[in-house]
Each structure stands twice: as structure tokens, then as C-alpha cells.
A and B are shown apart, each in its own frame.
Chain A
Amino acid sequence: MAGWNGGVRAAVLVAAWAAAALTAALPGAAAAEARRDLVVGMQLEPPHLDPTAGAAGAIDEVVYANLFEPLLRIDSDGGLVYALAEEWGVSDDGLSYTFRLRPGARFHDGTAADSADVKFSLDRARAADSVNAQKGYFATIDRVETPDPLTVVVHLTRPDGLFLFHMAQGDAVIVAPESAATNKQKPVGTGPFRFARWVAGDRVELERNPDYDGPAPALDRVTFRFIADPAAQVASLMAGDVDTFPQFNTFEALDRFRNDQRFRVKTGSGEGETLMAINNARPPFDDVRVRRALAHAIDRAAVIEAVTAGIAPPIGSHFAPHRAGYVDLTGLYPYDPDRARALLAEAGHPGGFSATLKLPPPIYARRSGELIAAMLADVGVRVSVENTEWAPWLERVFRAGDYDLTVIAHTEPLDIDIYGRPDYYFGYRSARFDALMAELETTRDEGHRNALYGDAQRVIAEDAVNAFLFQLPIVTVEKAGLEGTWQNRPLQANDITGVRWRN
């Protein structure tokens, strides 16, 4: 019986709470004043909040541009804009970059953010004991000089076409020596928002930094809530608990939001090239005819329809369609099971063969994988599907290259260079491709760079290194009346510095 009493008491509590919430909300509505707070929904909780010491995308999703600033940052269209630096220049030989810092920049603990902090941050990231997940970004730095407190000169060992782009990533944010060791729990940056609190397992809250020297953001308080379960994500939006959900993956629920005036659905492009990776080093996949057969056997449109409700742009190579330099190669291997069977027979596998398909946890991987397994079975390739966790996937598949086939989205921006890396898990080697990458490294002319990127896309598509599926769609579901959230996602971040509520 006490159970019933408990239920009644709880119901009364809920009613009282709801009434209090309503009365609190009403005066604001009457005055027609725009809200100054925001609740952002995220799928995963960051393990900690130091973007210079971890690869978890959830870290940048909270702190990038909001709390921590790099020298330059990337805007919603993928372009470079000023952040801690307000000016930059490069020498004619492309070997030294000069950055002029914002004179009024301060860390949240009150200390000035000057050239010494920049030198400290860059040197820390490339030190022998560095635990920066993208230490490679800093590999071309020879030395960092600080002629005066507001000027930083970075000397490179060789020209690096991607240097500025890399310096704008979350891994390159500027931190202070006083707080670098404690940033994981109490992050101290130079951004327009500062850390307020972290309710472990539930939310991180940021508040406006009143001492910010740049344009003040329109919001006073931002809460990032972590909701892993797809059903709970839908429920939290429907119930109004969450204002915007920038990486909404429950595509089958989108129609509900599209048909509801309270919400707006934004679709953009991101950096996640989703593909079925093929172990090129392992027979029978070392035969290009077999790889082309796999490409012909996959009905890409059907995969896109089933996995992303049809909204994902198809890709025919490893390049994001929204980028300059993109070449449309999606017509290279049309869905053609007969052609696939013929190619397999030509390669000496008239009866097909058996293979394993290892699938990491993301829902796009599991769903695509199951469909692809059925499509491959249709042409005689008997695939056994193995679901794996992240940890063994990284160790066995990614690092040891111990796999036949796997499905994964490569979310690093402009990462086509991975096809030139020796010992990469694709097991692919191509002198033609390597030559293109070498030329790209020393080329700064934008038009020439894009032409080289185009050639690189063609080489890996013709070699059918992987079966290229689609660009992971970026879908944001948010309340109508919210402005300034990113439509595209050139990097994994929720930049809320320009977000505001319309009155």
C-alpha cells in the first residue's frame, strides 16, 4: 500500500513542480523578452573537458569556440576566422607564420593570454611526453618565437598546406601553464563562456564570461545535456526539456518534427565519409576486381534510404561533397549484381567466398552492415557479421588490421591523406596516390590544391580501395525561434557564441 502512497505523493510533487515551472515561465512570456539560456542535447558525455588530451568528439562539442579558443577557428561553412589571433601572415617561402593576438584577451582565471601562453600550448602539444591525440598536427613546427607579448612567430621545417587548418582545431586550443593540468575537470580558457558546473552523468553548464574582450554572446547560460538513448532524445525534445539537438541520429523520427510547428529540422553536411572499409592487404581483397565486384554488389541508394531515411548525400570517393575540390564519382560502380558476379568469376571466385564483416557500435554502422551482408550474399560473398565494441574495434581492426570488412565513418576533416599512410588499416599502397599527396603538401595555390584533391579522389575510386557509401548527414532538431546554430558541421563542435532567441 505504501507503494501507492509513494505514487500519489510523487504525482502531487510533479503537479506542484509543473505549476511552479509554469508560473516561472509566464512573466517572461508576458514581457515578450527573449530567453537568455539554452539547453543543448548531446548523445555522449565527454570523459573530461580538455580538448588537448583526448580524441572524444564530445569534448569539442562542449568547449570548442565556447570555452577554449584556438589561434584561428573554423566557422559554420568550414572557413577560417580569427579567434585568439586577430591577424596572421605567412612568409613567402611558407616557412614562418606570424600571429598577432587580441590585446585584451584574458583567461577565465583573470591572467592575461599572451604569446607565452601560445608558445607553451604549442610546445606542450609537440613535446616528447605529449598526450595530444593529434600530435601530428604539430609535426611540422620547428620552433615558436615570442618577440613581444602579442606576437607569435611559428617556424616550420617545411611548407605545410594544412598548417592553419590544423591550428584551428580543438586539439590546438590555447591553454595557460597555470591551469593546463586541471583543465580536464575545471577547464580555463579564453572564450566567451566559462565553466560553471558539471553534474556527472547528466550535464555540463557554461555561463557567460563577463570579462570577454570580444563581442558578447546573446546567451547567459548554456547547458549541455547528455542523452544516449534514441527514444529518450525524441522524448526530451517533445517534452521541451532540450532546445536544440545538433547531432540528431534518430532519422526515422524526423517526420514527426517536420510536421510540428514548434520545431525546425535543419539538414547539413558533415565530415563523416561513411564507407565499408576493405582489407586491401588480405586475399582475396588484394585483387582490384574483387573490390570492384563488392562496389557493384552494394545498392547504395537502398542503404541510404534504410539507414538515413534517404537524407544522406551519396559519395563515390573519400571526400565531403560540400568542399571545394569535390569530384562526383558516385556513378563509377552502379548497382549491378550481374556485373559483380562476372567480376568475381573473372577473379577466380565463380562460387563467391566467405568473409567477416566487423561492425562497431554506431547505429549507422550496424544497420548498413546488416544490409550490405544481405547484398553481398546475393552475389555469392557469404559474410558473417560480428558486432564489436569500440575498444576491440580500435585495437583489432584499426590498429592491427585484423579484419576482412568493416563499416565506419571517417569524421576527421580533409583526411584523404590516410590512403597514403603506410600500415594504415586499409592495407592500400599506391605510388600514384603517394605522389599526389607529396605534391599537395608543398602546394599552397588553392586552385592547384583542389585539382590535386580531385586526382586523389579518382585514384582511390578507380582502385575501389573501399566501398564508399554516403556522407553522414548532419541533422539538427531545434525549437522554432532559435537562431545561429550551425547547419553544417565542418568539425565536431557546437559553436553557440552566435546563438540567440528571436523575440
Chain B
Amino acid sequence: MTAFLVRRLLSLAFTAWLATVAVFVVLEVVPGDPALLMLGTEARPDTLEALRAQLGLDRPAPVRYAEWIGGLLTGDLGVSVTYNRPVAELVAERLVITVPLALGALALSTLLALPLGLFAASRHGRAGDWAVMAFGQLGIAVPGFWFAILLILVFAVELGWLPAGGFPGWSAGAGPALTALLLPAVALAVPEAAILARVTRAAVLDTLREDYVRTARAKGLGRRAVLGRHVLPNALVPVVTILGLQFAFLVGGAVVVENVFQLPGLGRLVYQAVGQRDLVVVRDVVVLLALFVVAVNLLVDAAHAAIDPRPRGAA
């Protein structure tokens, strides 16, 4: 187990380093000068140079890369170019929206997908199965932003039950804040649930064909008991894998959904930062997200090892 963890941690560090190089090089190559963007069309060349010097953009790229990495290793994320505030502060402020949103969506999609997947598998080949499969296809095919707009049209504009967007802040109380997060969480959860339901169904069907299931049935155990005691725990392995992957996608999907719903979360921060060429914010957030995804994958592997000891032995 120790060797396994060390190996995984090393690969985590390598992936993070790759991410820093990739994001830095991409930001160097894409056109767009943050100073010009901030000062606009009337800025004079000497003013642009003064601002570039103030922002530290006048030094060579390798120096700036080294400084950035040095800062990251000591926990200093730097200061946002446009907002003139520490990136750590900005990120913390936005995480209190994005994390509850992603967790809420994850919970919603799991609660929706597991029963649907089990239901479809137990009705294999019958109408119920087809209905769930159709939902799954639809959920995968429909773009997330389109579904989000549809939700706004129905529940905010037509019915007027929920706000069309915006976020009152947690200081306004948990009620209004959670209300503001409800539609975005549903918009994120439903497409994820569609994928997860299909995976659950397939995993349950696979497990149902195993010999030990036939044995259990032969012993005289009821369908329900077999499903609960033998099938579900074994079918969970691929489901957990997908769940881990999905969580990374949820964070990515949050970028889109936060923009549709005007939620000032991490996704919106990075989206605006790209538009404003706030290089410091973009590279920090991208690396943080990369680290996060790698960490989730590590957790998924650890969860695997806990559910099913085989991979460890095989390694």
C-alpha cells in the first residue's frame, strides 16, 4: 500500500508540473496584452510600458515562470492583475459558491442515477429499461448550457418560482443562497445523472451474469436480497470510478453553468480572467483545478482498494 501511495503521489506531482508548463506556455502564446486590455484604445505607449513594468510583464518569460513556481511552492499565489487583490483571497471567496454547487450536483445526480440504473437493470429489455435508456441518451446529447437556459425559462421567467440568476451572498442567509443555487445544481446534475444511470445499469447487468449471483439465487435468496447483498456492492466499483471522473467534469461544467446563472463562483472567475487576460488568476486556478482532479483520482483509486483489494495485490 505504501509503494502504491508513493507511486501515485509522484505521478500527482509530475502531472501538476506538466499542468504548470502547459498553462504558462499557452498563456504566453495566445495574443492579448493585459496592459492594453486594461488601459484601452487611448493608452499611450509610455503608459502601457509603465503598467507592464508595474505588473512585472517586462521581464523574460523563464524568470516569470521561475518566480511563479517559487511562489506556488511557498503557498504564495500572487496578486490578480485586474482586481489587484491576492489570488488566494479571490479563490477562497469564489469556492464558497462553487464547492456547495458541485457537491449538491454530485449528491443530486447520485441520488437520481443509482435508483434509475438499478431499476433499469431489474427491468432489463422491458419498457422501464427503455425509458431509462432514453433519458440517458437525451441527458448525454443535450448540451448543459441549453438545459440551464431551459430551466431558467420555465422556473424563473414563466413560473417565477426561483430567481433567474445572481447570488445574494451567504450573508443574506442560507435560504436565499440555497434557493439561488438550486436551479444551477439541477442543471449540472441531470446530464451527469444520465451518464451515471447508464453506467450503473451496465454494471448491475454485468454483475447479474456472474456465477455467484446464480449460486445465490439457487440457494433460494430472493431477487431483492440478491440485488442488495451481492449485486450492488460489486457493481459499485465501476460506478465509483465514473463518479470520481464525473466530479472533475462537474467542476468543468460549473464554469458553463455559473456563467448562465450569473453565479460569482470559481468558474466565472476563471472565465472572466481569460477574457481580461488576467494571467496570474488563470494560471493559478488552472493549476489548482488540475491538482484537484488528480487528487480526486487518487481518492477514487484508494476507494477502489478499499472496496476491492485486487488491484493492490496485482500490483
| Chain A residues whose C-beta falls within 8 Å of the C-beta of B178 in the assembled complex | 10, 13
A47-B262 Cα distance, complex, nearest whole Å: 16
Stretch at the interface among A155-163, A279-287, A310-318, A387-395: A387-395
**Minimum Cβ distance to chain B for residue A69 (Å):** 22
Q: What A residues does B157 contact at CB under 8 A?
A: 231, 235, 238
A390 x B269 contact (CB < 8 A):
no
Q: State whether the Cβ of B111 lies closer than 8 Å to any Cβ in chain A.
A: yes
Asked, given contacts A47-B38, A128-B50, A390-B37, whether A3 binds B111 with beta carbons under 8 Å apart, the answer is yes
Indicate if the CB atoms of A54 and B182 lie closer than 8 Å. no
Q: How many residues in A have their beta carbons less than 8 Å from beta carbons of B?
A: 54
Interface range for B? 35 or more
- Decide if B166 is an interface residue (CB 8 Å cutoff): yes
- Chain B 87-125 interface mask (CB, 8 Å, partner A; 1/0): 000100110000000000001100110000000000000
Do residues A133 and B31 form an inter-chain contact, with CB atoms below 8 A? no
B264 contacts A201, CB within 8 Å?
yes
CB distance from B129 to the nearest CB of A (A): 21
**Which chain B residue shows the least CB distance to A412?**
B42
Q: Would you call A431 an interface residue if the criterion is a C-beta within 8 Å of the partner chain's C-beta atoms?
A: no
Interface check B161, CB cutoff 8 A: yes
The segment from B77-85, B228-236, B306-314 found at the interface with A is B77-85
Tell me the residues in window 173-229 of chain B with beta carbons closer than 8 Å to chain A beta carbons. Answer: 175-176, 178-179, 182, 189
| Nearest-CB residue, chain B, relative to A402 | B31
Flag if A394 contacts B41 (CB, 8 Å).
yes
Of B162, B264, B269, most buried by chain A (CB within 10 Å of CB) is B264
**For the complex, is A55 an interface residue (Cβ under 8 Å from B)?**
yes
Q: How far is the CB of B149 from chain A (nearest CB, A)?
A: 7
The reply to whether A389 and B182 form a contact with Cβ atoms under 8 Å apart is no
Per the bound structure, the CA–CA distance linking A7 and B181 in Å amounts to 11
Shortest C-beta distance, B158 to chain A (Å), equals 10
Given contacts A10-B162, A236-B164, A399-B36, contact A55 B43 (CB under 8 A): yes
Q: Does A391 contact B31, Cβ atoms closer than 8 Å?
A: yes
A135 and B275 alpha carbons, distance in the complex (Å): 24
Q: Taking the complex as formed, is A442 at the interface, i.e. its CB lies under 8 A from any CB of chain B?
A: no
The listed residue (A14, A132, A202) touching B167 by CB distance below 8 A is A202
Whether A392 pairs with B32 at a CB distance below 8 angstroms is yes
Contact B169 A199 (CB under 8 A): yes
Interchain CA distance A430-B225 in the complex, whole Å = 89
Q: State whether the Cβ of A25 lies closer than 8 Å to any Cβ in chain B.
A: no
Which of A2, A17, A133, A399 has the most chain B CB within a 10 Å cutoff? A133
A232 touches B33 (CB 8 A): no
Known: A14-B179, A48-B83, A394-B32. A133 touches B165 (CB 8 A): no
Residues of B near A392 (CB, < 8 A) are: 30-32
In the complex, whether A353 has a CB less than 8 A from a CB of chain B is no
Judged by a CB distance under 8 angstroms, whether A11 is at the interface is yes
Q: Which 4 A-B pairs have the closest CB atoms?
A: A201-B264, A55-B40, A391-B32, A235-B164
> 20 pairs across A/B with beta carbons < 8 Å?
A6-B108, A13-B178, A48-B83, A54-B38, A54-B39, A56-B38, A130-B47, A134-B43, A200-B90, A201-B94, A226-B262, A231-B149, A232-B166, A235-B164, A391-B31, A391-B34, A391-B36, A394-B40, A395-B33, A399-B36
- Chain B interfacial positions (CB closer than 8 Å to A): 30-34, 36-44, 46-47, 50-51, 53-54, 82-85, 90, 93-94, 107-108, 111-112, 149, 152, 156-157, 160-169, 175-176, 178-179, 182, 189, 259-260, 262-265, 268-269, 272, 275-277
